[in-house]
Amino acid sequence: MGLFGRKQTADKVKYRRSDRVERGEFRKQEFAELVMPDTVRIIGESGFRECRNLKRISLSNNLCEIGAYAFRDCDMLENIVMPGEMRYPDGSGGAIGIGCFEGCGLLREIVIPDGITVINANAFHNCAALETVTLPRSLHAIRSGAFSGCARLKNLNMPVMPDLIAQDAFHDTPHEQRIAAARKPVLTVMHTSSFGLPEIFQFSAATRLIGVEQTEGDMTVMLDAVEPERICFRITAYKHAGGRHVVPFNTPTRLFYEEYDCTGRTGMHKEEIVASYR
């Protein structure tokens, strides 16, 4: 359904709902500038994807979440004014989704708002002109490929080193070797749901954390041993929890879990996940 004509300007954009941009709502629409009202809290998946004439964005000051691929392949995007802070109403950290600015090849600078704890996979992948990135103190994790392919990234303002940085988060950037030398090893567990969507869980893999349970989302793990060439861990809480497992360093490993039914019996069926220690 067309929401506005091709000749309309950004101030005439009509949102279906005042508090959010729906999934794919403005995908492939033609406008050059967007000033988002402060009523908007959520930008849904692919909300502005492939808006290839979009050059400038001023986002809502009350934004909580930028969904997966929200601005992917906005080829002409040069400038983004982010809110100073992104948090959900309950105070928890806001979200920057998978691939949300991937392929925005003219974007030169980004300031990640305070409150953001995770920059998800491929969030700024192949932003070839990106020169300056400022990260907040609240940041806990930078996922796989988040800034990979940002070959002109000269200025990385990172006041604290996040606990979790994926091995390839800064691949093909000037900071790749420096980050690789400073980052801590990470245990990554990926489970593909029945809908075919990967659920990715990541945990710090430091010697000092041995025997301490770590929780991310609905998965909890306990590290039993961390060595240069392998990691031993147990998944102690998850819908397919079980077993003690050994994963070699830098080698993705397939693991199987038996699903428990409500009476505690096992053997209903087996789920396969992939774990890696890098």
Q: What is the pTM of this model?
A: 0.83
Residues of the chain short of pLDDT 70, as ranges, are 1-12, 193-196, 240, 257-271
150 and 254 fall within a common domain: no
**Between β-strands 65-66 and 56-58, what pairing exists: parallel, antiparallel or unpaired?**
unpaired
166 and 33 fall within a common domain: yes
Give the list of residues 6+ apart from residue 37 with CB closer than 8 angstroms, or none: 15, 18, 60
Q: What is the pLDDT of residue 256?
A: 75
DSSP 19-30: TEEPTTTTTT--
Query: Measured between alpha carbons, how far is 51 from 23 in angstroms, rounded to an integer?
Result: 14
26 and 164 fall within a common domain: yes
Q: What is the pLDDT of residue 99?
A: 97
Q: What is the pLDDT of residue 52?
A: 95
105 and 67 fall within a common domain: yes
Q: What is the pLDDT of residue 220?
A: 94
Q: What is the pLDDT of residue 243?
A: 79
Q: Is the Cβ–Cβ distance between 40 and 16 less than 8 Å?
A: no
169 and 50 fall within a common domain: yes
Can you tell me which residue has the tokens 């604290």? 160
204 and 266 fall within a common domain: yes
Tens digit of pLDDT for each residue in 199-216?
889 999 988 889 999 998
Number of separate domains in the chain: 2
Q: Find the helix or strand (DSSP H, E) in which 226 lies.
A: strand 219-227
Domain that holds residue 153: 1-183
268 and 166 fall within a common domain: no
Q: What is the pLDDT of residue 263?
A: 54
160 and 227 fall within a common domain: no
79 and 217 fall within a common domain: no
Q: How many CB atoms lie within 10 A of CB 41?
A: 18
Query: Measured between alpha carbons, how far is 202 from 220 in angstroms, rounded to an integer?
Result: 10
Half-sphere exposure (CA, 13 Å, Cβ side) for 217? Answer: 13
Domain boundary among 134, 163, 183: 183
Tens digit of pLDDT for each residue in 106-145?
999 999 999 999 999 999 999 999 999 999 999 999 999 9
Q: Measuring CA to CA, which residue among 205, 239, 196 is closest to residue 219?
A: 239
* CATH code for the domain of 118: 3.80.10.10
Query: Measured between alpha carbons, how far is 250 from 248 in angstroms, rounded to an integer?
Result: 6
Q: What is the pLDDT of residue 214?
A: 94
Query: Measured between alpha carbons, how far is 74 from 9 in angstroms, rounded to an integer?
Result: 17
Domain boundary among 183, 200, 222: 183
Number of H helices, E strands in the chain: 1, 21
User: How much is the CA Rg of the chain, to the nearest whole Å?
Assistant: 20
